């Protein structure tokens, strides 16, 4: 069969990973990004063992990427540890680590392996359509690009989703105030991610490498609020030493708001020669740190199903197979990802009674799911 061509809207984590996955399956790919360059902004993201396993399988080495996380801990507002999840258990079993990596580092690593000229910058996608024999992408510079199929990986406010489905993400009434700065506290140079949870909300901390701490506060409210005032009002009375150090180091110039949004995860993400991937298909609040991980799973599955197709019709059918394969998992993660963990914090006494081994083994199960994907290739 003649090599298939694909156009991808958006060069974020999902668009770049999808370009890798499709190119590995013999598809000729063009990615259209509205930014004038790759958007390296943002704080850090957590990649669980499944996410790093997918990166490796796409040919993106993870050995020197970010900071390897050995445990994920939960503390009370007074700084008592109530549970600890051993992340090395799944690493030993499946061979891929959990890491905390700055978004800039991850975007650089994903773009490094793509042929020069794969990504086209500076024009935003405004419309997309299935023309029957081709898929069409319109850009705001007036240009029109076609391919055998089209992937909308243009993030939570996806123009491709608007063109083919018309629905938008709902605001959940919570905002994450986040930063990536040098903070002299116990988490910065360690190998543990920490979530401190109380009735007022949550403070998360991850080591991010090079003396930087990724920190964030989840609170009810909007991005129009004054971030510094909001976090001091909500968390100022917490006794946890590290939280107080982060509060003291948090300046408005270092803080970005991240509004919690949720899409309805539909059974059908696209139609005809068009589908969606990553946040365009399934945005949710960041509480389980699954945004980048699920975007990588989408990319990997797309590459695999399209790689099996040998005719044009089979390629279109492969897009539906991809949606079938991804729907259940994405819907489950969406249902589990909420601010609920902070709305009704479980009593410490209950959490303390949960054996760490049980939670660590549940974490390993999640990685096993992806490992099964990878080994079924």
Ligand X SMILES: Cc1cc2nc3c(=O)[nH]c(=O)nc-3n(C[C@H](O)[C@H](O)[C@H](O)COP(=O)(O)OP(=O)(O)OC[C@H]3O[C@@H](n4cnc5c(N)ncnc54)[C@H](O)[C@@H]3O)c2cc1C
Interface residues toward ligand X, by CB under 6 A:
9-15, 32-35, 39, 41-43, 45, 103, 124-125, 153-155, 159, 178, 278-279, 286, 291-292, 295
Question: What are the structure tokens assigned to 50, written together?
Answer: 């499944």
Could you tell me the smallest distance in angstroms from the CB atom of residue 144 to ligand X?
14
Question: What are the structure tokens assigned to 159, written together?
Answer: 């123009």
Could you tell me the smallest distance in angstroms from the CB atom of residue 353 to ligand X?
31
**Are 223 and 259 within 8 A, CB to CB?**
yes
**Are 9 and 152 within 8 A, CB to CB?**
yes
Could you tell me the smallest distance in angstroms from the CB atom of residue 272 to ligand X?
20
Q: What DSSP element (H or E) covers 32?
A: strand 28-33
Strand order in the sheet with 81-86: 81-86, 71-75, 192-198, 201-209, 212-220, 170-181, 256-262
Pick 167 or 356: Cβ nearer ligand X? 167
Pick 36 or 267: Cβ nearer ligand X? 36
**Are 318 and 39 within 8 A, CB to CB?**
no
Pick 101 or 247: Cβ nearer ligand X? 101
Alpha helix locations (H) across 145-223?
Answer: 159-164
Could you tell me the smallest distance in angstroms from the CB atom of residue 303 to ligand X?
15
Could you tell me the smallest distance in angstroms from the CB atom of residue 33 to ligand X?
5
Could you tell me the smallest distance in angstroms from the CB atom of residue 123 to ligand X?
7
**Are 13 and 110 within 8 A, CB to CB?**
yes
Chain residue at closest Cβ approach to ligand X: 12
**Measured torsion, CA atoms of residues 153, 159, 165, 170, in degrees rounded to the nearest 10:** 90
Pick 32 or 269: Cβ nearer ligand X? 32
* Tally of CA atoms within 13 A in the half-sphere of 207 that contains its CB: 23
β-pairing, 125-130 with 256-262?
A: unpaired
Could you tell me the smallest distance in angstroms from the CB atom of residue 281 to ligand X?
8
Question: What are the structure tokens assigned to 335, written together?
Answer: 């249902």
* HEC letters along 248-265: HHCCHHHCEEEEEEECCC
What whole-number distance in Å separates Cα of residue 38 and Cα of residue 34? 9
| Secondary structure of residue 134 in the 3-state scheme | coil
Could you tell me the smallest distance in angstroms from the CB atom of residue 228 to ligand X?
18
Could you tell me the smallest distance in angstroms from the CB atom of residue 28 to ligand X?
19
Pick 193 or 278: Cβ nearer ligand X? 278
Pick 41 or 226: Cβ nearer ligand X? 41
Pick 219 or 309: Cβ nearer ligand X? 219
| Distances in whole angstroms, Cα of residue 371 to Cα of each of 19, 32, 92, 213, 375 | 21, 31, 12, 29, 6
Pick 82 or 276: Cβ nearer ligand X? 276
Pick 124 or 249: Cβ nearer ligand X? 124
């Amino acid at each position: 069969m003649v090599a298939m061509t694909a156009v991808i809207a958006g060069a974020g984590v999902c668009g770049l990973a999808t370009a890798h996955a499709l190119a590995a399956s013999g598809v000729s790919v063009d990615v259209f990004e509205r930014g004038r360059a790759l958007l390296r902004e943002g704080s850090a993201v957590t990649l669980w063992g499944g996410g790093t396993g997918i990166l490796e399988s796409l040919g993106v080495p993870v050995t020197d990427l970010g900071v390897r996380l050995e445990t994920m801990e939960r503390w009370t507002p007074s700084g008592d540890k109530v549970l600890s999840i051993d992340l090395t258990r799944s690493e030993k079993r499946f061979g891929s680590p959990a890491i905390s990596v700055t978004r800039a580092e991850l975007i650089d690593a994903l773009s490094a392996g793509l042929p020069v000229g794969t990504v086209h910058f500076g024009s935003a996608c405004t419309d997309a359509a299935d023309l029957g024999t081709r898929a069409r992408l319109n850009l705001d510079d007036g240009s029109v690009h076609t391919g055998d199929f089209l992937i909308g990986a243009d993030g939570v406010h996806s123009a491709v989703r608007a063109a083919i489905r018309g629905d938008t993400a709902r605001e959940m009434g919570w905002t994450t105030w986040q930063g990536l700065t040098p903070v002299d506290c116990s988490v910065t140079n360690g190998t543990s991610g920490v979530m401190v949870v109380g009735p007022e909300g949550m403070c998360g901390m991850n080591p991010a490498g090079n003396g930087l701490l990724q920190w964030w506060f989840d609170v009810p409210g909007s991005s129009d609020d004054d971030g510094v005032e909001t976090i001091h009002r909500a968390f100022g009375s917490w006794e946890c030493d590290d939280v107080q150090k982060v509060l003291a180091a948090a300046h408005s110039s270092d803080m970005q708001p991240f509004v919690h949004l949720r899409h309805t995860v539909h059974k059908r993400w696209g139609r005809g020669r068009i589908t969606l991937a990553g946040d365009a298909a399934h945005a949710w609040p960041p509480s389980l740190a699954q945004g980048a991980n699920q975007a990588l799973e989408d990319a990997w599955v797309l590459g695999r199903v399209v790689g099996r197709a040998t005719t044009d019709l089979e390629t279109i059918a492969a897009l539906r197979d991809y949606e079938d394969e991804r729907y259940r998992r994405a819907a489950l993660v969406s249902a589990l990802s909420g601010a609920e963990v902070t709305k009704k914090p479980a009593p410490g006494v209950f959490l303390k009674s949960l054996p760490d081994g049980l939670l660590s083994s549940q974490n390993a199960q999640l990685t096993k799911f992806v490992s099964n994907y990878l080994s079924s290739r």
